[in-house]
Structure formats: C-alpha cells, structure tokens
C-alpha cells in the first residue's frame, strides 16, 4: 500500500475525470447506461466534493478532465466502435448543458480543465505537457468510471505509462470511500 504521508501536495495533482452531466446525471446522454444509478449508489459526487476540498486545502492542484465528442473524426478512421457511437449519438457536445460539471464539483480559480476525446486523459491532449510543466510526480485519480477513464488514464494507454514518466498513481475507488 502507498505511503500516503509521503505525498507532497506541491508535486501532486488530483485528476477528476468525467464528472459532467452527460456522464453521471440522470438526464444526461448516459442516462440509459446505468452510470447515473451507479454514481448515486456509490455517492460519487459527494465523495469527490470531499476530495476536491481536501486537495484545495492542502495546496494540491485540481485538474478536471471532461470527455467530449470528437471533432473532425472521419466515419471509419482510427476510432473504435464505442467512440464512433459516442460521436454519432446525442450528447457530449462542447458548450451544451450535458458538458456542465455536476453541481458542487465546478472548477474554481486556479483549477485546470482539459477536454479529452478518448478514454485516457493523455490520449491526444495536453495533459502530459501540463503535468511536466508543473513538475507533478504523483497523480491521484478519481471520477465516474473507475474501470474505464480512470484506469485508462492510470495506464497511459500507449502514450507512455505515468510510471515511465516517473509519476506515481493512486486510484481512488468510489466503492471504498463510503
């Protein structure tokens, strides 16, 4: 188990993934996926509110990562069936209500926000360069889909594993936060 006392808030970031309406709200694009019910059962929003408050209090930067629909994607080019489905379906469009962050989790001054089009926060985004510029060596990851976006981000999915970049990762599993 990780020695949580050894975490340096100045070299750590709390990454909050996919906590916007289209993912976890009962009126969002994922409303029929079971995600809103699962998030409610796991008390995800309230748990993450507590994590964000603790991060801010300790001086740990907060990085919000939001999944949005891909732009300029060709119908069959380099995109998995799932992401083609997201591209073609309703929701996940920039600037819409579905992309609003869940109440209480809104970014504040000093927080960072990055949009992604794939499962991993590193795939095709500026996440890596932002973390390097901040000299971050510890990632604390949480969000709506632990077994999807959170784990994909922890693994790096072909974009250099965080541990290959000298970064430690801590995944906060909502089932164990009650």
pLDDT in tens, 8-24: 999 999 999 999 999 99
- The reply to whether 3 falls in a domain is no
What pLDDT shows up at residue 25? 94
What pLDDT shows up at residue 51? 95
Residue 28 domain boundaries: 8-176
- The reply to whether 121 falls in a domain is yes
What total number of domains does the chain contain? Answer: 1
Q: 93-123 b/e with 16+ CB inside 10 Å = b?
A: eeebebbeebeebeeeeebbebbbbbbbbbb
Contact (CB, 8 A) for 62 and 112:
yes
pLDDT in tens, 118-174: 888 988 899 999 999 999 988 999 998 777 788 888 876 444 445 555 566 666 655
CATH code, domain with 166: 3.40.50.850
pLDDT in tens, 41-84: 999 999 999 999 999 999 999 999 998 887 665 555 566 666 66
Of residues 96 and 2, the one with the higher pLDDT is 96
For 91, list phi and psi in degrees, rounded to 5. Answer: 100, 170
- The reply to whether 1 falls in a domain is no
What pLDDT shows up at residue 178? 44
- The reply to whether 2 falls in a domain is no
């Amino acid at each position: 188990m990780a020695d949580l006392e050894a975490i340096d808030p100045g070299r750590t970031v709390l990454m909050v993934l996919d906590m916007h309406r289209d993912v976890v709200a009962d009126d969002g694009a994922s409303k029929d996926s079971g995600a809103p019910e699962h998030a409610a059962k796991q008390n995800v929003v309230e748990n993450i509110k507590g994590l964000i408050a603790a991060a801010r209090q300790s001086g740990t930067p907060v990085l919000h990562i939001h999944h949005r629909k891909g732009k300029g994607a060709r119908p069959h080019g380099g995109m998995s069936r799932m992401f083609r489905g997201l591209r073609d379906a309703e929701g996940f469009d920039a600037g819409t209500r579905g992309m609003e962050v869940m109440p209480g989790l809104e970014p504040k001054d000093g927080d960072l926000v990055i949009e992604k089009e794939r499962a991993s926060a590193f795939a095709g985004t500026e996440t890596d360069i932002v973390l390097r510029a901040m000299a971050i060596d510890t990632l604390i990851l949480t969000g709506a889909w632990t077994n999807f976006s959170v784990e994909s981000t922890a693994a790096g999915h072909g974009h250099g594993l965080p541990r290959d970049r000298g970064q430690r990762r801590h995944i906060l599993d909502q089932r164990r936060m009650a």
